[in-house]
A and B are shown apart, each in its own frame.
Chain A
Amino acid sequence: MRPRHIAALCLRQIYLYRRSLTRLLETFYWPTMDLLLWGFVTLYLQRSSHGRMPLFVSYFIGALILWDVLFRAEQGISVSFLEDMWSRNLINVFVAPVTVTEYLSSLMVISAIKVIAAFAVTSSLGWLLYSFSIFKLGIYLLPLVLNLVAMGWTIGILTTALILRYGLEAEILAWALAFLFLPFSAVFYPVRILPRALRTVAMFIPASHAFEGMRSVISSGVFPPAEFAYAAGLNILYILLSVWFFMRVYKKALISGIIPKIGE
């Protein structure tokens, strides 16, 4: 794996964001709107409950900020791939001396940059608007964020593979697939609220363990190592599976000839 190839692919995306105000806004617009809307709703509910839900705002704003981490990580992969399709540049990239591993690595680097940028904005807004500091999670914030980024990457790689398989008609997945996991990820409510069957589903979703961990740290300051270890284990397995699936789709794409079709 050559770092220069990865750097070149990242540079292309950095140039794009530096030059495109709409893309730059898109990265910050939705998380800001979410934070404004749901943050004030939460504030209203908490005040209406007359102090019976003291941690409601922390749970909700924390969840919003961290869900955005997962979503941006996913978009950093899938939308960056779509950018090459939209600009009809995909073939140029695929006939350059770049390996698939290098290409996927560059998408992950770009995704990490986008996550850091969006996280800086949402965490600042959370503090400014609701006096909520995500950093009160302390050192435990790091394993939380890493697990959510890893799950975002898994969904992003899976989405990209499906776009490579089915072409532009599958591009909606770049926005939709992450939300498929939202109800079962226990983002805004604990896993125990879910019906029994869905609790089993949630067990296999790394994000549900991360968000349970977040609530535990906020409410009691206790870091549940088992939850994080379980999430990390699942993430490692899922990332490996998603990369394997992408490679398989890529090999099939070389046989079916879909790359020139979606790239032109």
Chain B
Amino acid sequence: MGIVEIEGLGKSFEPGSYALKDISFSLSRGQILGILGPNGAGKTTLIHLVLGLILPTEGSIRVFGKVLSPRTRTDILKRMNFASNYVFLPQTLTLWENLMVYAIMYEVREPARKCAAALRMFGLYDKRHKRAKTLSSGQMMRLCLSKAMINDPEVLLLDEPTSGLDPEIARRTRRLLVELSREKGLSVMYTSHNLWEMQEVSDRVLFLDGGKALLEGPSAELIGRYDVKNLEELFFKVLGNG
């Protein structure tokens, strides 16, 4: 049984059109699922649905064996976390203050120790007393990733987490995700337009286009099945541009 189970999920914002339609997949403990697709494919909408930020029009989302609903949402969210390239943390606060607020919000034990560890994880500990507004956009993303690690989540949802990072930090982040999934059983769902990165990190990929799941499965298996060299070639082949 998966830690996240999606069954027949659909979301419509306007009558007659679907942002997502009939999506089903399962994410196991310690697995990394890469969600790929062109702009407007429904990747971010899927992340928002799993976070309970929007309600599905049809289908169900089960996380940790519980159906995600407004009633079960807080219990589920306690064991998850999220970071996005489009969502920031308050810039007037210092890095330390930002993380302390979320450490308390997530009821983390020994919040000071956790904040220090999370900042060290992304190379920001030395800047802990600086205000977040002094950070570059890449450093802000690292701060958001630190926040996402504050509660030792079992499920991590990331929306384009490495898009603003320099190559070195992006590589460290990828390695960290793989390490945490292998060693601590962290399950990750993440979106990215970097198909090389996705191939390196993901155990499985979900290919969305126009709100529909075109492909879903282990990256290596899909590459073999479509007789292509890598995910990038697969991307263009599936979209009919290759």
The interface of chain A, by Cβ under 8 A from chain B, is 2, 4-5, 7-9, 11-12, 15-16, 19-20, 83-84, 87-89, 91-92, 94-99, 251, 254-257, 259-260, 263-264
* Residue contact A89 to B88, C-beta cutoff 8 Å: yes
* Residue contact B89 to A87, C-beta cutoff 8 Å: yes
Contact with B107, one of A4, A251, A263 (Cβ below 8 angstroms): A4
Q: Which residues of A contact B44 (CB under 8 A)?
A: 260
The interface of chain B, by Cβ under 8 A from chain A, is 11, 13, 44-45, 48, 51-55, 70, 74-75, 77-78, 80-82, 84, 86-94, 97, 100-102, 104-107, 131, 144, 147
A92 to B91, CA, bound (A): 14
| Chain A to chain B contacts (Cβ below 8 Å), 30 pairs | A4-B104, A5-B105, A5-B107, A8-B101, A8-B104, A9-B101, A11-B101, A19-B93, A19-B131, A20-B92, A87-B91, A87-B92, A89-B89, A89-B90, A92-B87, A95-B51, A95-B77, A95-B81, A95-B82, A96-B102, A96-B105, A97-B75, A97-B106, A97-B107, A254-B54, A256-B13, A257-B11, A257-B48, A259-B53, A260-B48
A209 to B147, CA, bound (A): 48
| Shortest beta-carbon distance from B82 to chain A in Å | 5
Nearest residue in A to B11 (C-beta to C-beta)?
Answer: A257
| Shortest beta-carbon distance from B66 to chain A in Å | 13
| Shortest beta-carbon distance from B24 to chain A in Å | 21
* Residue contact B102 to A8, C-beta cutoff 8 Å: yes
Nearest residue in A to B51 (C-beta to C-beta)?
Answer: A95
Nearest residue in B to A254 (C-beta to C-beta)?
Answer: B55
Q: Which residues of B contact A2 (CB under 8 A)?
A: 107
Q: Which residues of B contact A255 (CB under 8 A)?
A: 54-55
A195 to B122, CA, bound (A): 66
* Residue contact A92 to B89, C-beta cutoff 8 Å: yes
Nearest residue in A to B19 (C-beta to C-beta)?
Answer: A257
* Residue contact B53 to A15, C-beta cutoff 8 Å: no
| Shortest beta-carbon distance from B86 to chain A in Å | 4
Specify the main secondary structure of chain A where it touches its partner: helix
Q: Which residues of A contact B70 (CB under 8 A)?
A: 251, 254
Nearest residue in A to B140 (C-beta to C-beta)?
Answer: A88
Q: Which residues of A contact B54 (CB under 8 A)?
A: 254-255, 257, 259-260
Contact with A92, one of B45, B48, B102, B104 (Cβ below 8 angstroms): B102
A217 to B11, CA, bound (A): 59
A264 to B54, CA, bound (A): 14
Q: Which residues of B contact A8 (CB under 8 A)?
A: 101-102, 104-105
Supply 20 further A-B pairs (C-beta < 8 A) apart from A9-B105, A96-B102, A257-B53: A5-B107, A7-B104, A8-B102, A8-B104, A8-B105, A12-B93, A15-B90, A16-B93, A20-B92, A89-B87, A91-B82, A92-B102, A95-B52, A96-B105, A97-B106, A254-B52, A254-B70, A260-B44, A260-B48, A260-B54
The 4 closest A-B pairs by CB, nearest first: A8-B104, A8-B105, A97-B78, A87-B90
Q: Which residues of A contact B52 (CB under 8 A)?
A: 95, 254
| Shortest beta-carbon distance from A103 to chain B in Å | 11
* Residue contact A16 to B55, C-beta cutoff 8 Å: no
Which of A12, A16, A87, A92 has the most chain B CB atoms inside 10 A of its CB? A92
A260 to B80, CA, bound (A): 18
A144 to B167, CA, bound (A): 61
Using known A-B contacts A19-B93, A91-B53, A95-B82, determine if residue A264 contacts B74 with beta carbons closer than 8 Å.
no
* Residue contact B87 to A91, C-beta cutoff 8 Å: yes
Q: Which residues of B contact A94 (CB under 8 A)?
A: 53
A16 to B89, CA, bound (A): 12
A83 to B91, CA, bound (A): 11
Q: Which residues of A contact B48 (CB under 8 A)?
A: 257, 260
| Shortest beta-carbon distance from B116 to chain A in Å | 18
A11 to B90, CA, bound (A): 12
* Residue contact A264 to B87, C-beta cutoff 8 Å: yes
| Shortest beta-carbon distance from B163 to chain A in Å | 14
| Shortest beta-carbon distance from B58 to chain A in Å | 12
Nearest residue in A to B82 (C-beta to C-beta)?
Answer: A95
A7 to B11, CA, bound (A): 35
| Shortest beta-carbon distance from B71 to chain A in Å | 10
* Residue contact A257 to B106, C-beta cutoff 8 Å: no
Q: Which residues of B contact A91 (CB under 8 A)?
A: 53, 82, 84, 87
* Residue contact A97 to B90, C-beta cutoff 8 Å: no
